[in-house]
Structure formats: C-alpha cells, structure tokens
Amino acid sequence: MTSVRCSWVLALACVGCAEGDDASGKRPDIGPDAVLLEVSTEAATDAPADAPADGGLDTGLPDAPVDTGVDSGAASDTGTDTGADTSTDTGTDAGAPWRKTITIDGTNDFSATDETFTTTSTGYSAHLTWDASALYVGTTGPDIGAGASATKWVFVYLDTDPGASTGASKTEQYKDQAATFGTGFGAEAYFAWRTDGTFSQLKKYAAGAWTTADSTSVSVARSGSFVEMRIPYTALGGTPAKLGVVTLMLNEGVGGAGQWTYAGLYAGSFTDGVYAAPSTAPTKYWLLADLAASTAPSSTLLRKP
C-alpha cells in the first residue's frame, strides 16, 4: 500500500507584542515550552486485501458466494415414483410381442422347443407361431407323406375373438364326423388342406352356416411328411388382438369305413376316434395366440381353457 504523509511543525510561543517582540524588545526564540504539533494525513491509494471485487465497501463480513443457480450436487431425476404397482397379471409376459416369420418352402423352420407340440396321436407333431401379419401352422406325420390320400385332411380352426361366445361351437361335419370345441372357443373361420395336395379351402362362419371364402392368399408347401401353411390375417378380415387356434386331422373314410379324428393339437385334448355328428365329445384344449404378448407359443400359459 502506498501513502503520502504531510507534516507541519508549528512553533508556538506566547507572543505579547504587536510587532512580535516581547517586553524586552527582543523577538522570542522557540523555547523549551514550545509545543510541537504534528498533523498527519494518510490518503489510501490501495484497496484493502479483502475488498469486494466490485469496488464496494468492505463491511468486514465474509464475502458472500456468487449463486449461479446451479446445484452441482443435485440429482437430475425427472421420473415420478408413485410407489404403487398398478400392473395386472394376465398370465402372459408383457415384454416385446412374440414374432416369428416362417418361409413357406417345405423346410421345417419351426423351433423344436418354442413352436412344436405333441398331439393326441403318436408319431404326429403340430407346429405353430405368428408374426405381425400372419399365422403359421405346420403338421408332421405319416399321413402327410406316405399315407397321404384324397380322404385325409389337416384342419386349422380359428376364433378371432376368443372368449366372446361367438362363432361355431363345433367343427363342420365331414361325412359323419363333427366334434365340439372346448370352453371359450367359437370358430369364425377354418382352413382345410387335403393331404393329396390337390385341394384346399377357407371357410367362414356366420348366421349359423359355413360359407366358402377366398383362400388364394393362403400359402401351403409340403416336403415329405411335413406340411406348413401361412394364413394372413387379411384373409380373416383383419388383424385380431388375440386368436384362438385348434388344429386336428380327419379321415373321411371310403363309403363310411375308416373314418377317424386324430392328431389334435395338445396331447390329451381328445381321444382319437370317430366323432359322429352330432358329437358332444370336445376338442378340450385350444391355443390362445396373444399378439401383444411375448410369451412363446409352446408356453402352458397359452393352453386354454
């Protein structure tokens, strides 16, 4: 700090004459009784060390911190935790929806663990999966290959609104056979493929009757004892939220002989045999294809009722 000091020394004496001389006529000298007065003025040219940066007055208190409005220690959590679980368990996984696309070329691309099922008949397997646009169904067994004939069929019955108590309560009658469906299933459509490979058809149910529909969009391919098909949702009138599925095989027989219903989806769904109309023996089980769920088709959660 730099300062300027100015000093004046005043010699003060008792002066008794107008001319500055004392009574003796002599000018007094500064004697021992003179008073020396030093007046000092100090002008500060430097700010105190703790002066505010803005040049303001120093109050003597600690400098206040500058508040930038940002708390670097605060967590940036913008989520809201309600503390309550409002989910409802529907029996299916609510993750990404299950999707699997099958190329219809006669090669079995169905997963052995997730999309393959035992049936009511030894030596026969059912296959089923879906994607966002179609249902894929397959069947493996002797009557697809070496035992194929003009009297044996693969059927896929479809319920476009499962649980709604609509649709047909039993299969369409072929020769003398027709079987009822399990609880909660009512068919709005079915696709039938004859194992000799010369005929197939799509039918829809309305007002108590089955009528033939356009089946040109349904693709079918066979190789050996395996057949697969793609049934687009557009052929059913649109994409359903859920789809009930029953698959089975039927032999019409010749002249009434050899009739048989067999190879039904899910072992234990029914006992293989002749289901003469009007039969009350049900195809007990059906599969619920939930297009919004991530559950694999083979999961027991999808076997209904």
**For all residues of the chain together, what is the average pLDDT?**
79
In a domain, 235, yes or no: yes
Q: Are residues 182 and 288 in the same domain?
A: yes
pLDDT at position 190 is 98
pLDDT at residue 299, rounded to an integer: 97
Q: Is the pLDDT of residue 41 over 50?
A: no
Q: Please state whether the peptide bond connecting residue 305 to the residue before it is cis, i.e. omega within 30 degrees of 0.
A: yes
Could you tell me if 291 and 285 are in contact, meaning their C-beta atoms sit under 8 angstroms apart? no
Q: Give rounded-to-5 percent helix, strand, coil for the chain.
A: 5, 30, 65
Whole domain around residue 35: which residue ranges?
1-45
Look at residue 173 and tell me if it is in a domain.
yes
Distance CA 214, CA 217 (A): 8
Residue 68 domain-assigned (yes or no): no
- Give the number of domains in the chain: 2
Same domain, 138 and 276: yes
DSSP annotation string for 43-112: ---S--TT--TTS----SSPPPPP--S--TTS----------------SS--SSPP------SSS--S-T
Let me know if residue 154 belongs to a domain.
Answer: yes
Place of tokens 């300062």: 3
Quickly state the pLDDT bin for 156 (edges 50, 70, 90).
Answer: very high
| Residue range 105-137, pLDDT digits in tens | 999 999 999 999 999 999 999 999 999 999 999
Kindly state the average pLDDT of the residues 151-161.
Answer: 98
pLDDT in tens, 165-218: 899 999 999 999 999 999 999 999 999 999 999 999 999 999 999 999 999 999
| Domain membership flag for residue 86 | no
Listed ranges 9-13, 39-43, 91-95, 195-199; the one with the highest mean pLDDT: 195-199
pLDDT tens by residue, 15-25: 343 444 444 44
Phi-psi group of 6: left, alpha or beta (phi > 0 → left; psi -120 to 50 → alpha; rest → beta): beta
Work out the angle at residue 47's Cα, subtended by the Cα atoms of residues 45 and 48, and round it to the nearest 5 degrees. Answer: 130
Is 145 in the same domain as 2? Answer: no
Residue 152 pLDDT greater than 80, yes or no: yes
Cis peptide before 278 (omega within 30 of 0): yes
Same domain flag for 33 and 124: no
Residues 140 and 276 both lie in one domain: yes
In a domain, 64, yes or no: no
Nearest 5 degrees, angle CA 167-CA 168-CA 173? 155
Q: By the 8 A CB rule, do 127 and 116 touch? A: yes
Please check whether residue 183 lies inside any domain of the structure.
Answer: yes
Q: β-strands 180-181, 282-283: how paired?
A: parallel
Q: Based on the fold, state whether residues 41 and 147 are members of the same structural domain.
A: no
Q: Which SS3 state, helix, strand or coil, does residue 235 take?
A: helix
Can you give the pLDDT at residue 94?
A: 58
pLDDT tier at 151 (50, 70, 90 boundaries)? very high
Average pLDDT value for residue range 80-96: 50
| pLDDT confidence of residue 161 | 97
Higher pLDDT, 282 or 42: 282
| Main-chain phi, psi angles of 233, to 5 degrees | -65, -25
Instruction: Specify whether 279 is located in the same domain as 136.
Output: yes
pLDDT, greater one: 58 or 177: 177
Per-residue tokens: 258: 């050899």
Rounded to whole angstroms, how far apart are CA atoms 188 and 210? 9
Asked whether residue 197 falls in the same domain as residue 290, the answer is yes
- Residues 127, 248, single domain; the answer is yes
| pLDDT > 70? residue 75 | no
Torsion angle, alpha carbons of 176, 182, 186, 188, to 10:
-60
pLDDT band at 72 (very low <50, low <70, confident <90, very high): very low
Percent of the chain with pLDDT strictly greater than 90: 64
Is 110 a domain residue?
Answer: no
CB atoms within 10 A of CB 43: 9
